[in-house]
Amino acid sequence: MPENAAKYTLKEALLNRRMLICIFNGFTAGLPIYFLIQLIPAWLRVEEVDLKTIGFFGFVMLPYAWKFLWAPLVDRYIPPFLGRRRGWMMVTQVLIFFFMLSLSTLDANKDIELVLYAGLAIAFFSATQDIVLDAYRRELLPDDELGLGNSFYANAYRIAGFIPGGLSLILAEYISWEMVYIITSLFMGIGIIHTLMIKELDEDVQAPKSLKDAVIEPFKEFFQRDGISGGMYILLFILFYKFGDTVATSLITPFYIDVGFSTAEIGSIAKIVGVWSMVVGGFVGGVLMFKWGINKSLWIFGLVQMASILGYALLNEVGPNRWMLGLVVAFEYLGVGLGSAALMAFIAKNTNKNFTGTQLALLTSLFAIPKSFSGVISGVMIEGVKESDGLFFTILGTSKGLGYTNYFLVCTVLALPGMLLLLKVAPWNEKKAI
């Protein structure tokens, strides 16, 4: 057990108000990103938008990868209401709600450019919300509770995926897409109400005195702490630890549809089973990290996460079997829950409380980079490129697609670099407290 974990019993760490705040903040952070990666792609595919265009829509995720560029502004400037952290929470949550709701007025084929712009706005304000929620969580949790707190946050983040990726898809079988978007958007009200109810933290750390300090000092401190090479290994590890899984699941909802499942089956089986498997994985991951420490957890959880990708290849070979769908999704999402809990704790531990907003934005941005372009790569890898594919043909020429089975095998191989980097950033026998 990590040395500093002895200060708390597991029961004391689990049952406190800080964990409840992590849960609500995690739900609020997860809702808009799953809205973008699950609900909108399903809507576009049902409306017969081609797979490569849906993959191109993945570029709206770019703000998550570049949020460290404006994180210093969030650290430096304080809104005139609710305080440094809660003020930014409220601003971003209201704007996310507005742009989510705006999609209820658009047509998937006629307004595809407006859909793209609305998605980009949601991603930008969601990424900004992540900056402040991550900073608030790091300032809220003592080091002893980082594993559990981040696990609760990750669990709630994933549970939020049940709304756009489960409930909304089920509703789409019975009501119009316009009403689906209105109902889904209203769930952002949970975050808005929660922001009004929590208190601004009584921080010992003050906002940076100048924008220059807000920009330079976080990066300077990060690379001074472990040296340039140590810092670069950490950055590369965060980028690649979940790379294979991220690429594999970038077009997962269209994959389910192409295998032969209905949106109701996807909503009621894949999403529900997946979310709860991930919840179990995240919770178990938090408890195991509390006992084992982060290094061993990263190794074990990474191997489970890597092996679980192969289940999708098996599902593609079996076809639209509901039991197989449930089993495959349960195992893969269990691995995702374990891996996400470990990675989030690792990221939080590698930040300094004096620079939480900017440093967390930098580290979590790396985690998000593959999500920004994996959809486009996935569509091309799976379907290939034909002469009728316009820009894709101009850039790449013709190519034969791998098909889903071979694609998932390649994704399994893509998980190897992250595992190898563990030798540098988290050796198995090195006792490093979380």
**Token output for 92:** 């971003």
The Cα 117–Cα 123 span in angstroms is 10
pLDDT tens for 140-162 read 877 667 767 777 887 788 788 88
The Cα 235–Cα 170 span in angstroms is 39
pLDDT tens for 330-363 read 887 777 777 777 787 788 777 776 677 777 777 7
- Which pTM does this prediction carry? 0.68
The mean pLDDT value for 245-264 works out to 80
Side-chain half-sphere CA neighbours of 38 within 13 A: 27
pLDDT of 222: 77
pLDDT tens for 262-311 read 877 777 776 677 667 766 766 777 777 767 777 788 888 888 888 888 88
Residue spans of the domains in the chain: they are 3-425
Task: Tell whether the model's pLDDT for residue 327 goes beyond 80.
Answer: yes
pLDDT of 116: 85
Computed on alpha carbons and rounded to an integer, the radius of gyration of the chain in Å comes to 21
pLDDT of 276: 72
What residue type is assigned to position 285 of the chain?
A: G
Q: How many residues does the chain have?
A: 434
- Asked which of 120-129, 330-339, 411-420 is least confident by mean pLDDT, the reply is 330-339
**Token output for 248:** 């594999």
The Cα 115–Cα 112 span in angstroms is 5
Element (H or E) spanning 223, and its range? Answer: helix 211-240
Domain 3-425 has CATH 3.40.50.720: no
Q: Is 202 left (phi over 0), alpha (psi -120 to 50) or beta?
A: beta
Task: Tell whether the model's pLDDT for residue 242 goes beyond 70.
Answer: yes
Which residues lie across from 385 on neighbouring strands? 399
Torsion sign over Cα 9, 15, 16, 22: positive
The residue that leads in pLDDT, 396 or 25, is 25
Q: Which of 27, 276, 54, 266 is nearest to 167 (CA)?
A: 266
Percent of the chain with pLDDT over 70: 80
What residue type is assigned to position 63 of the chain?
A: P
Within 10 angstroms of residue 403's Cβ, the number of other Cβ atoms is 14
pLDDT of 57: 73
pLDDT of 229: 82
Give the pLDDT band (50/70/90) at residue 376: low
Residue with token string 């690379």: 223
Strongest mean pLDDT among 28-32, 104-108, 310-314, 351-355? 28-32
pLDDT tens for 191-208 read 999 999 988 876 555 666
The residue that leads in pLDDT, 347 or 181, is 181
Torsion sign over Cα 183, 167, 198, 347: negative
Which residues lie across from 399 on neighbouring strands? 385
The mean pLDDT value for 95-124 works out to 87
pLDDT averaged over the chain?
Answer: 79
